[in-house]
Amino acid sequence: AFYYDQPSRTFSEYLLIPNLTTKACIPDNVQLRTPITRFRKGEIPFLQMNLPMTSAIMQSVSDHNLAIALAGCGGISFIYGSQSIAEQADMISKVKKYKAGFVDSDSNLTPQHTLGDVLRLKARTGHSTIAITENGQSNGKLMGIVTSRDYRENQMSESEPIAGFMTPRQSLVVAMEGVSLAEANETIWQHKLNCLPVIDKEDRLLHLVFRKDHDSLKEHPLELHDSNKQLIVGAGINTRDYKERVPALIEAGADIFCIDSSDGYSEWQAETIRYLKATFGERVKVGAGNVVDREGFLYLAEAGADFIKVGIGGGSICITREQKGIGRGQATSVIEVAAARQEYLDKTGIYVPVCSDGGIVHDYHIVLALAMGADFVMLGRYFARFDESPGRKVLIGGSFVKEYWGEGSSRARNWHRYDHHSETKAGKLEFEEGVDSFIPYAGRLKDNLDITVSKIKSTMCNCGALTIPELQQKARLTTVSSTTIVEGGAHDVIQKERSSQGMAQ
Ligand code: MZP
């Protein structure tokens, strides 16, 4: 046998050492854009995200509701594959049908800003942005902006006309009710109306909202429409029925696939990737995994995987290490795979994004994963806590909890994920590798994500980094002793109740 000289380590065994924070290094300037699909050095990746977070390919995490909420915030969900092809395709098409545009209540733009400022914001955030100017012309004073940033702020029930905003033009509103968005827009432009159309899910006009000034607009985000803008969504697939599943999901509108397996270093994964690329060409994007070392990464990269997912046994609901003795500390896995990615880049000129999957317990673990070389992370427990996840919300002992179960639990019975292609055992989950559990309920996805993102940006500023590649290049990490970990929490004090603000994790 081969013995590694070092034990494998988890995220909690590392801390970041601050670098010089320059004056330009403020959270507003931090940009979290990250590649999802492989690209040749110097070229632009086919798919990128504005948030380095994806939701796990799990029944208790990624259905269409969570996918819509997360895509609205700039991340991507991979809809779970442990369901029938028709059911999965239906979820994908629900996400693709959802269209939304939104007021960006965090942009800090004021009427003094110009259209140029809006365009700069657009370049920085990557959000689709429409500037609304006083006279409807590009040289007019800025009245407000609309972006595709968020959809939850803008539930239809909340988008009633706002008192004080309606003007004598109300009669026109009534006349327009029920017309198509295209007709409404034409009238708005014709009459140079300073207003926004509010639409229903069939794109019919509900009403127009007139704005007085940008500050009022900031207080009242409204659901709007940016046309033909569709949310991005991924889908989990397996190495058994991909020949039927993938065409159906392409038809439903899936943007990217990920082969979902607890151990991806296998000939079945290479065969699946090669088949999909040969059949559908490069337009089909497919991630693979999970792996935990250099060999696993290089094998899947050479097979053509668009991104590679890292992690075995670190998931919060996972008992694979206990059941089979397979796995590796998540931090060590990411560090080794990121080094292999660099090796592959030097040799081929191709950059293959790496996803750190599972084992994120605290928000800062996300920054550690990115600093260690991950381009994005995948989270299960984190997202399962929110209103939008599929699990039931239950009251236990006076506190609300949500259900969260592993794909390897007998509840999910995702045999494909743990399958070794034995024909006699096909369709069976012989023993469990995951548990069925409860986790504390945490409210709306967006509220929690906002806190997480501000922590990520703040930590990146401490490290003197404005982008993820800069963080990967500059980060200085140290391992910590167990007593250092104790010192890092509140200690030697009698703690009063902590406020829930900032306590997303
Ligand atoms: P976590 O974010 O809850 O720590 O981990 C989520 C990850 O655990 C998933 O993305 C997946 O890779 C993995 N997972 C899902 N089900 C199981 C299981 O039943 C599992 N063992 O390990």
pLDDT on residue 97: 81
Give the residue-averaged pLDDT of 405-433: 92
pLDDT at 222 over 60: no
Give the residue-averaged pLDDT of 339-356: 98
3-class secondary-structure state, position 448: helix
Task: Show Cβ contacts of residue 262 under 8 Å, excluding neighbours closer than 6 positions.
Answer: 290, 312, 320, 408, 417, 418, 433
Return the bridge partners of 304, or none: none
Cβ(50)–Cβ(72) under 8 Å?
Answer: no
Give the residue-averaged pLDDT of 330-344: 98
Cβ(312)–Cβ(290) under 8 Å?
Answer: yes
Q: pLDDT tens for residues 18-64? A: 999 999 999 999 999 999 999 999 898 999 988 999 999 999 999 99
* Domains of the chain, first to last: 32-98+231-488 (3.20.20.70), 101-224 (no CATH)
Q: Which of 61-70, 197-206, 305-314, 377-386 has the lowest mean pLDDT?
A: 197-206
Task: Show Cβ contacts of residue 483 under 8 Å, excluding neighbours closer than 6 positions.
Answer: none
Q: Report strand pairing: 142-147 vs 101-103.
A: antiparallel
Q: How far is CA 429 from CA 88, 240, 274, 403, 412, in A?
A: 21, 15, 27, 21, 10
**How far apart (Å, rounded) are the C-alpha atoms in residues 456 and 498?**
21
Query: From the centroid of its chain, how far is CA 350?
Result: 24
Q: Is 289 in the pocket of ligand 1 (CB under 6 A)?
A: no
pLDDT on residue 230: 73
Q: pLDDT tens for residues 61-117? A: 999 999 989 988 889 999 999 999 999 999 999 998 875 433 333 344 444 455 555
* CA 187 to ligand 1 center in whole angstroms: 51
pLDDT on residue 57: 98
pLDDT at 7 over 90: yes
Return the bridge partners of 90, or none: none
Task: Show Cβ contacts of residue 288 under 8 Å, excluding neighbours closer than 6 positions.
Answer: 258, 259, 264, 269, 272, 273, 300, 303, 305, 307, 308, 309
Residues in the chain: 505
Q: Is 284 in the pocket of ligand 1 (CB under 6 A)?
A: no
**How far apart (Å, rounded) are the C-alpha atoms in residues 277 and 270?**
11
Q: Which of 149-153, 361-365, 467-471 has the lowest mean pLDDT?
A: 149-153
Taking alpha carbons only, the member of 198, 194, 200 closest to residue 224 is 198
For a substitution probing ligand 1, which of 317, 330, 404 has the most ligand atoms within 8 Å of its CB?
317
What mean pLDDT is reported for the chain?
82
pLDDT on residue 191: 61
**How far apart (Å, rounded) are the C-alpha atoms in residues 197 and 184?**
7
- Confidence label for 138 from pLDDT (cuts 50, 70 and 90): very low
* CA 407 to ligand 1 center in whole angstroms: 7
Catalytic site positions: 318, 417
Give the residue-averaged pLDDT of 341-345: 98
Higher pLDDT, 495 or 135: 495
Q: Is 315 in the pocket of ligand 1 (CB under 6 A)?
A: yes
* CA 109 to ligand 1 center in whole angstroms: 40
Question: Which residue has tokens 């796990």?
Answer: 56
Q: pLDDT tens for residues 238-297? A: 999 999 999 999 999 999 999 999 999 999 999 999 999 999 998 899 999 999 999 999
Longest Cα separation, the chain: 83
